[in-house]
Amino acid sequence: MPTTAPEVHRGLAGVVVDTTGISTVIPETNSLTYRGYPVQDLAAHRSFEEVAYLLWHGELPDGAQLREFRARERALRPLDRTTAELLAKLPETCHPMDVLRTAVSFFGAEDPTEDDGRPASGLAKSLTLLAKLPTVVAADQRRRRGLAPIAPDPDLGHAENFFHMCFGAVPAPEVVRCFEVSLVLYAEHSFNASTFTARVVTSTLSDLYSAVTAAIGALKGPLHGGANEAVMHMLEEIGDPARAADWLDDALAAKRKVMGFGHRVYKHGDSRVPIMQAALDELVALAADPGTTRLAALHAALREAVLDRKGIHPNLDYPAGLAYHLMGFDTPVFTPLFVMSRVTGWTAHITEQLAHNALIRPLASYDGPEQRPVPASA
Ligand SMILES: CC(=O)SCCNC(=O)CCNC(=O)[C@H](O)C(C)(C)COP(=O)(O)OP(=O)(O)OC[C@H]1O[C@@H](n2cnc3c(N)ncnc32)[C@H](O)[C@@H]1OP(=O)(O)O
Ligand SMILES: O=C([O-])CC(=O)C(=O)O
């Protein structure tokens, strides 16, 4: 019996699958709010810890709440010996995102309350991840450089402590601030692919660590978070500002995607880019060396060329990728830096999904072979 083929929404483009009270992206006005607050105001005036609290609790913390939150985060930073030894045994050929994914999976295996879906225990687990993931990322980068890990310093704020664990020193306040701005901007972005992944896993009533492990897998891909790393590889491949336009023409002719450009939701520019670009410009001015000036010129030349040839704007990964390079991080660590921030958004969504859960299970339009008899085996 002939039936009308259902409308297919490949990639779920334009499909509204649920409500959320955590953040909203309004492409028409180029705005993004977390719990109602414009992200540019949060980036300018609030710390990443305050933004994490806002995403999880729905309101910014008062002084006492922030002091308590900070104290808890600082106490949770160290890794236990078993975790540290397990991570140190992973092959150095694996990507730092694989290390992070394994770490979260292992935290889940170690946590006896893993299957407890209560919001309070979800928040405790979320804070544990917020506190411990930077320790994992820093130790992994140092191991790959042949260096011993540096223990977290409870006297330092979240961003400062991360630099301390990576490099044994805290850089100029402008550098720390630029990093903190990137953490605030990366924290949350509605139903992006990795957050949606976390919500799909949660919708089966699976545990928080499983959802975050899956989300890390989704973020790793170069069409999503992996693009910040890919931006740096691309800039290195181009090498010279004078080559940007010709490189782009060749890349487009070969149907390559230009990393750090385009967006599923924003078609006229990513609301976060001007803030991140301004922070990046400060880093460039601070460095004031010919190598940095040249990289910044190449970055600007490619941005102009992409806009000119394709009318496509950069997304957050474009300025963030170069900023992370200038801060001294190794390129494969860029997407783990994104995870350190986005874990706040993922876990806020996990809590929200559990509060109004419906199993996420879409339909598909079948286009395989007609029903046929199974042939006798040979
Ligand atoms: C934090 C984040 O996750 S932001 C996203 C990070 N990802 C990237 O930077 C990777 C590069 N960008 C892309 O691949 C895409 O822009 C995506 C995946 C982010 C969004 O893609 P979609 O919404 O599915 O748009 P789609 O890929 O269909 O692009 C529409 C058109 O613009 C073109 N286009 C979009 N982005 C790019 C790009 N970066 N380079 C070249 N062309 C592009 C497509 O080729 C397509 O052209 P066509 O209509 O002639 O075929
Ligand atoms: O929203 C998206 O599709 C991707 C993105 O920018 C993000 O996750 O920050």
Cβ–ligand 2 contact at 189 (below 6 Å): yes
- The tokens for 82 are 């078993």
More confident residue, 264 or 119: 264
Cβ–ligand 1 contact at 74 (below 6 Å): no
pLDDT greater than 70 at residue 42: yes
Express each pLDDT in 192-214 by its tens digit.
999 999 999 999 999 999 999 99
Query: Where along the chain do the CATH 1.10.230.10 domains lie?
Result: 227-326
d(CA 220, CA 241): 28
Percent of the chain having pLDDT more than 70?
98
Q: In what order do the strands lie in the sheet with 23-26?
A: 23-26, 31-34, 37-38
Residue nearest to atom 7 of ligand 2 (CA): 189
Identify which of 223, 231, 248 to mutate to test ligand 1's pocket (most ligand atoms within 8 A of the CB): 223
Cβ–ligand 1 contact at 223 (below 6 Å): yes
Q: What is the mean pLDDT of residues 297-307?
A: 98
d(CA 186, CA 345): 9
d(CA 200, CA 186): 21
pLDDT of the residue at 353? 97
Q: At what angle do helices 208-220 and 119-144 cross, to 10 degrees?
A: 40
CA of 302, nearest ligand number? 1
Cβ–ligand 1 contact at 316 (below 6 Å): yes
Residue nearest to atom 15 of ligand 1 (CA): 262
pLDDT greater than 90 at residue 283: yes
Query: H or E stretch including 37?
Result: strand 37-38
Q: Cβ–Cβ contacts within 10 Å for residue 284, how many?
A: 19
CA 185 to chain centroid? 10
Cβ–ligand 2 contact at 192 (below 6 Å): yes
Q: What is the mean pLDDT of residues 289-306?
A: 97
Q: Between the CA of residue 274 and those of 63, 187, 231, 316, 353, what are the distances in Å?
A: 30, 16, 17, 9, 31
pLDDT greater than 70 at residue 3: no
pLDDT band at residue 288 using 50, 70 and 90 as cut-offs: confident
Residue nearest to atom 4 of ligand 2 (CA): 192
Residue nearest to atom 6 of ligand 1 (CA): 224
pLDDT of the residue at 117? 66
pLDDT of the residue at 116? 67
What is the residue-averaged pLDDT of the chain? 96
Cβ–ligand 1 contact at 261 (below 6 Å): yes
Q: Cβ–Cβ contacts within 10 Å for residue 327, how many?
A: 18
Identify which of 15, 229, 257, 270 to mutate to test ligand 1's pocket (most ligand atoms within 8 A of the CB): 257
Cβ–ligand 2 contact at 135 (below 6 Å): no
Query: Where along the chain do the CATH 1.10.580.10 domains lie?
Result: 20-177+187-220+333-355
Cβ–ligand 2 contact at 264 (below 6 Å): yes
Residue nearest to atom 2 of ligand 2 (CA): 192
pTM of the predicted structure, to 2 decimals = 0.97
CA of 342, nearest ligand number? 2
Q: What residues are labeled active site?
A: 263, 317
Residue nearest to atom 6 of ligand 2 (CA): 189
Q: Is 335 exposed, middle or buried (0-12, 13-18, 19+ CB in 10 A)?
A: buried
pLDDT of the residue at 378? 84
Q: Between the CA of residue 130 and those of 9, 54, 146, 162, 345, what are the distances in Å?
A: 35, 14, 26, 12, 11
Express each pLDDT in 336-359 by its tens digit.
999 999 999 999 999 999 999 999
Are the C-beta atoms of residues 65 and 354 closer than 8 Å to each other? no
20-177+187-220+333-355, CATH topology level: Citrate Synthase; domain 1 (1.10.580)
pLDDT greater than 90 at residue 29: no
227-326, CATH topology level: Cytochrome p450-Terp; domain 2 (1.10.230)
The β-bridge relationship of strands 31-34 and 23-26 is: antiparallel
Q: What is the mean pLDDT of residues 165-184?
A: 98
pLDDT band at residue 121 using 50, 70 and 90 as cut-offs: confident
Q: What is the mean pLDDT of residues 323-335?
A: 98
CA of 226, nearest ligand number? 1
- The tokens for 13 are 């483009």
ipTM over 0.90: yes
Q: What is the mean pLDDT of residues 75-101?
A: 97
d(CA 242, CA 62): 51
Identify which of 192, 275, 342 to mutate to test ligand 2's pocket (most ligand atoms within 8 A of the CB): 192
Cβ–ligand 2 contact at 272 (below 6 Å): no
d(CA 200, CA 181): 29
pLDDT greater than 70 at residue 2: no
